[in-house]
Amino acid sequence: MKYIDEFRDREKAAVLIKEIEALVSTIPLAKERPLNIMEVCGGHTHSIFRYGIEGMLPKEIDLVHGPGCPVCVLPMGRVDDCVAIAERPEVIFTTFGDAMRVPGSKKSLMQAKADGADIRMVYSPMDALTIARMNPDREIVFFGLGFETTMPSTALTILQAASEGVTNFSVFCNHITIVPTLKAILESPDLHLDGFLGPGHVSMVIGTAPYEFIARFYKKPMVVAGFEPLDVLQSIWMVLKQIKEGRADIENQYARVVPDDGNAAALSAVAEVYELREFFEWRGLGSIDHSGVRLREPYARFDAERRFALPNVTIADPTACQCGEVLKGMIKPWQCKLFGAACTPETPLGALMVSAEGACSAYYQYGSLKAERAGAI
């Protein structure tokens, strides 16, 4: 298939692997310890497992699976808030499907739906706005979730609702931002990273300039990467080349999709509708300053948090769940005591097992479960 097959070419992949092996052999640091490269985006984690990329790489490279899955970092308290809204009799609660099974402290949205709440899966916030037009006697709430990738679509829907004068539509805003998250990771004393594969989807919106602080202040290389096997392998090679040459730059491997300046129209809608929160709670990572957004005052009438009374309680993850350590790259998914036993995609206890982009879910689906668990013993 044009534009796909050329990025899944086995012969080219073999050449890239040889180039990576040759490059690693010339990096002195790789003789002392593994080179830790974090893929920030959950989409990259999925590709790495799906195509067996981790197993192709030399042992001197350790891929660290980052926090770039918005469903996976949603804290239990916010899920409880979703359920509280959804169970109101006047509400039709709309959400993307991958958020349905994220566990709260008592139940998930899927369980709330089974208990009788009117919860509907949609493919876009515009679908939710359509439901609002068709049900003027009900309150329609859209679960706004995701990094800068999905922020613009929610913002444009709010602008559309405002222009039409729709009064029964609101958004429970849980959109989060990537830059404060990366800063928190870089300042973590428990994690030592040598480079990053930058998020391709987020970068389609914000461009590459916002990452300059990673190279300038933290002296770490980043390569914004595509999602096909050759994209990932070439991006790893580019990171290694920077390490070899003693450079720390922000490079764009995914230039066929990601403009360096980002998407002006999307950024304009985001700036119009949102403002930064003082702080936002992340599952497994704790509170991160200025890492979430809320609706600006002119659009307060579309803010579900202001429209409905919410529990708004911070709830700790189960003590046995090690999602936080996995999110920060401190352990691999299979090293969690619950992985593959009490916690599976069918019965997820941790958020990383719910979404297809979660590291635990990807590892469970594509990894050799028996081999990994045997190796851990």
In order, the DSSP letters of 67-128 are: EE-TTTT--HHHHHHHHHHHTSTTEEEEE-GGGTT---SS--HHHHHHTT--EEE-SSHHHH
Cβ-contact 237, 262 below 8 angstroms = no
- Domains in the chain, ordered, with CATH? 5-66+190-240 (3.40.50.11750), 76-178+261-307 (3.40.50.11740), 323-376 (no CATH)
Distances (CA, A) of 323 to 40, 92, 187, 339, 348: 15, 31, 19, 10, 11
Q: How is residue 234 written in tokens?
A: 């070439």
Distances (CA, A) of 308 to 84, 168, 254, 263: 9, 12, 42, 33
Question: For residues 164-174, b (16+ Cβ closer than 10 Å) or e, as one string?
Answer: eebebbbbbbb
Closest CA to 57 of 28, 27, 32, 37: 37
Strands 222-224 and 169-175: unpaired
* Cα separation, 165 vs 238, whole angstroms: 50
Q: What is the pLDDT along the chain (377 residues), one digit of tens a residue?
A: 456 667 778 899 999 999 999 999 999 999 999 999 999 988 898 889 888 898 899 999 999 888 777 787 888 899 999 999 999 999 999 999 889 988 888 899 999 999 999 999 999 999 999 999 999 999 999 999 999 999 999 999 999 999 999 999 999 999 999 999 899 889 888 778 999 999 999 999 999 999 999 999 999 999 999 999 999 999 999 999 999 999 999 999 999 999 999 999 999 999 999 999 998 988 777 888 999 999 999 999 999 999 998 887 777 766 777 877 787 667 888 888 888 888 888 777 777 887 767 788 888 887 654 334 333 32
Kindly report the CA angle at 29 between 66 and 47, in degrees rounded to 5?
Answer: 30
* Cα separation, 181 vs 38, whole angstroms: 13
pTM of the model: 0.88
Q: Is 145 helix (H, G, I), strand (E, B) or coil?
A: strand
